[in-house]
Structure 1
Amino acid sequence: MGGNHTQPKFILLGITDTPWEQAPLFGLFLLIYIVTLAGNIGLIVLVWVAPSLHTPMYFFLTHFSLADVCYSTIISPKMLTDLLFGNKTISWAGCVTQFHLFALFVTAECHLLAAMAYDRLVAVCHPLSYVMVVSPRACWQLVAWSYLVASLSALVYTGCTFGGSFCGPRHIDHFFCDASPVLRLVCSDTRGSEVAIFALATANGLGTSVVILLSYGRILHTVLGMRSAPSRARAFHTCASHLVSVSVFYGTLFFMYLQPASRHGSRDKVASVFYTVVSPMLNPFIYSLRNKEVKVALGKCRRKMLNLCRHQRSAANGIRESWNVFSWKGP
């Protein structure tokens, strides 16, 4: 891959080159990354241990949270290291790997969001056949399709981005290896690569967004036809979290990738920070803070943990008292 026989090293210029800004940004992004890991992994564990959450919607949500954890971990540790130590070099292999895995999990999220929209469509519009249509087998097929398409797309993205000849300065004007800043360093003609990336990003982004829009169009038509106001409110509440997540994710994604590489600029860093760092942190809160089922499951798990702690404390006290009785020899 690539026109050179030697593998070049790249230098990531990062978010800022101002020294006094790096320490506050390091603290902020470290806090965001810790919250991201705690929130998403906590949500995955909660769905796993709570039987009431063993439904298709939360099955898709666990994979969505897993993708958030993965692509956040691909970006954030390197960014934090660069901010803390100032060593912003990255090897050819490291740059290719970072971009490939990032493209894989971001593309997978697009298809997972479409699968979640389909799940909501069946739940609201065809509730009687929901269990049969959205079966465990269908859920696994949708998830497998998401990762399969994402894997193939990531191969194409990576080949188009790193398939040219690199020469001259190797400073990537970004905080991670992304397609647009890397393509600016290619000496050969990149128009074919840009067209291929744009076309595939359009197919993945617009294709999945059309599925989501059509699903919610049908949901809206069904909800407006309901005679009961409480039923309409429950239907809207069921879809609210997913709609917020879709808006946040696709808004920044379309800004970043559905435009030619020549039109990218410094604003890309702000948009990239939002969907690579901030968005993965927000998703667990979007899906849990206003979700009664998650709150109930969290409350049950909390009570079980407290009861377990009390039981262990009582057992420890009992063992201690028994030991004191047997060890007391009297006057």
Structure 2
Amino acid sequence: MLFRRITILLLLSFVIISCAGKKPVYKVDQYVWPKESADPKLKAVRVITNSNEFPGKSGGKNAILKELVGDVNVNWIDIKAIRLATNGEGKVYIAVPAKSEIQLVDFVNKRIKNIRFSSIKPSAVAVKGKRIFIGDRAGGRVMEITEDKNVKWSYGRKVDEKAFEKMKNDNETKVDNLYKRISDVFVKGDKLYVTDELFGRIDILSLDGKYIKSIYGVPAPNSIYVGDNGKIYVLSKFVGKLFVYDKNGNFIKDMLTPGTNIWALNFPNGLGMDSDDHIFIIDIATNGLKIYDKEGTFLYYLGVEKESVYLGGFNNPKDVIVDNKDRVYILDSYNRRLVILQSLTEKYKNGRRDMTVKEPMLRW
């Protein structure tokens, strides 16, 4: 009897020691929003962040966050960053006009880089393949640059305050090649779209900097997206609405509603769309990502309506973009991090059958 008791105690001790020494396994795929059967669903993919983010706890949500952060865990992304773009192949470019730089996150080569300028203040950035296009707040120019800081072409010039006020008083704001505040740039096909928030204008250029046409009378355009059908979507953070134009620049309609409700636009600043035509909008005032269908029906809010350091929450987020694989990139500025989510669209579900290892850090 004594021998049997000793044997049982030894077995129990072995099991307890084994369980205590075994690390828990956290599956990123389990971190999906929303939990109910709503559409769309978002899956946590990646967080590039600063190393001071996590409190000292070791389990639960913090362990999942640490697993998401992986081997890039640096106090690096600038708190004053305002815009981002990606080539969809593992490179993300972040515009920081206050520091006169573009920050580069290269997931494929697992490196980060600061592209610093002396007189250029990049306020917006767009990418196509290896080509980088920026809006320069200092000089009021649109330009194509390289990662080595070479300027391939430049278009436009900045109008000074006195001349701008005179133009407004004389109602002469329908001008070409003058900029006051470039707020966004966007590449679609062989065209570059440029928004000027104060002139209320969208310029359309060729990718070698040749002027094509302008759309005038756009209410304070802040962020722009152009769909595969040629429709132009323009977000205005000061008006709190989304304006839609056809490919020729004719006004179609305005969408969404300004307000302080969770489904309304309080101070929106970033715009993107996935292949299922979900509209993603970053709202600074409510510290969250708001998602609508293509008709403007509110679907989902990701955030906690206040500053939050945890995944699923944000602190003064500034921009959102969606790449060609329906990955959603959020510039969570005051948390000094880049959050990457996966929109679980039909394109994504079908694409998983052809997974590659070319972008290991993006987990697709």
Normalising by structure 1, what TM-score? Answer: 0.23
Higher helix share: 1
- Determine which structure has more spread, i.e. the larger CA radius of gyration: 1
Higher strand share: 2
> Which of structures 1 and 2 has the larger relative contact order (alpha carbons within 8 angstroms, sep 6+)?
1
